[in-house]
Amino acid sequence: MDRIIIRDLLARCVIGINDDERREKQDVIINLVISADLSRACRTDRFEDTIDYRALKKRVVDVVEKSNFFLLEALAEKIADVCLETDGVREVQVSVDKPSALRFARSVAVEITRRRDG
């Protein structure tokens, strides 16, 4: 399976369980590994034969910035859903980091992998 990788996508959203986390948007860093068959695009060099990862990135950022989750796990699942709604995407690995979530740790991350049914 071929992959498109989007690294260190920064977005802001309400995420967390504490009162202060519910009041202000926080930074999250998203990494996506999108699995698809890219062989046709490799042969043709045509935009129409690949996944429009710019449009996908815009959809992910839009969903994240409008979201209001308590858990990183739920946010990651929503991002996976958005990716799997995109034609050609067979599988996605989503990693969501929340910088400074824990004292003495640079960040906390959740990573999930989801596949398209069928």
Active site residues: 98
Longest Cα separation, the chain: 53
Over the Cα atoms of the chain, what is R_g? 15
Q: Of all residues in the chain, what percent are helix, strand and coil, respectively (each to 5)?
A: 35, 40, 25
Separation of alpha carbons 45 and 10, rounded Å: 29
Which tokens hold the place of 118?
């069928």
Q: Is 87 helix (H, G, I), strand (E, B) or coil?
A: coil
